[in-house]
Amino acid sequence: MTFVFIAAGLAVLVVLWGVLTFNALVRARNRVDEAWSGIDVQLKRRRDLVPNLVQAVETYARHETDTIAALTESRAAAGAAQSRVFRERAESRLSGALASVHVAAEAYPELRASRGFGRLQEQLAEVEDDIVGARRIFNANVQRYNELVQSFPASVIAGIGGFGGRQYFDVETSTERHLPKADDGTAQSGGIAAA
């Protein structure tokens, strides 16, 4: 009789542990999804500034047709990307195109002196700072979620419940492309940087 009570108690504990672990996985996955929506909002804000930037560049730097075309195409690709992997690639191309606009603007003093272009630059810098912050939050949530999914014994419940690991979001902003490197102190274009 005592054996039956012990076995029943252990079964209840295992079921309780399973329910608590499942709920922890759901909460962690929801935090990742919520953090992704934060990145998505900031990326959309950045894409929404691109048409104004294109218009400003066209007004003062008509000869920069390749730069403008690359910016317009990369914006369209970023807006059309469906999966996070394709979105990351498209947003990286958009960051590169935005960096090209910053470089091209150096050759046009009238463009740099324009109040509208200056405001756009400030807004883009603000949005890109927000993207960096949202990316850090997302990647921290992904790390916690992946640790939970991959650690034993929670991985057993994760496997049964269909919880898979998530990928980090590693797209750099155009301002990060121009940060000085520690080795020589000059601004250089870099590769994709992880948050």
In words, the CATH class of domain 22-177 is mainly alpha
Measured CA to CA in angstroms, residue 97 lies from 13, 31, 102, 151 at distances of 56, 31, 9, 40
Distance CA 22, CA 194 (A): 29
Distance CA 28, CA 36 (A): 12
pLDDT band of residue 156 (cuts 50, 70, 90) is very high
Distance CA 164, CA 71 (A): 35
**Token pair belonging to 96:** 């590169």
Is residue 113 over pLDDT 90? Answer: no
pLDDT band of residue 176 (cuts 50, 70, 90) is low
Percent of the chain, pLDDT > 90? 50
Measured CA to CA in angstroms, residue 83 lies from 78, 90, 165 at distances of 11, 10, 15
Contact between 147 and 188 under an 8 Å Cβ cutoff? The reply is no
**pLDDT, greater one: 154 or 188:** 154
pLDDT tens for 143-154 read 999 999 999 999
> Per-domain residue ranges for the chain?
22-177
- State the average pLDDT for the chain: 85
**Token pair belonging to 141:** 């949530």
Q: Which of 86-100, 121-135, 166-180 has the lowest mean pLDDT?
A: 166-180
Nearest to 129 by CA among 71, 176, 177, 189: 176
Average pLDDT on 3-7 reads 88
Average pLDDT on 115-137 reads 92
Per the listing, tokens 């996985």 go with 25
- Length of the chain (residues): 195
**Residues 6 or more apart in contact with residue 10 via CB below 8 angstroms:** none
pLDDT band of residue 186 (cuts 50, 70, 90) is very low
- Radius of gyration, CA atoms only, the chain: 23
In this structure, which amino acid lies at residue 60?
Y
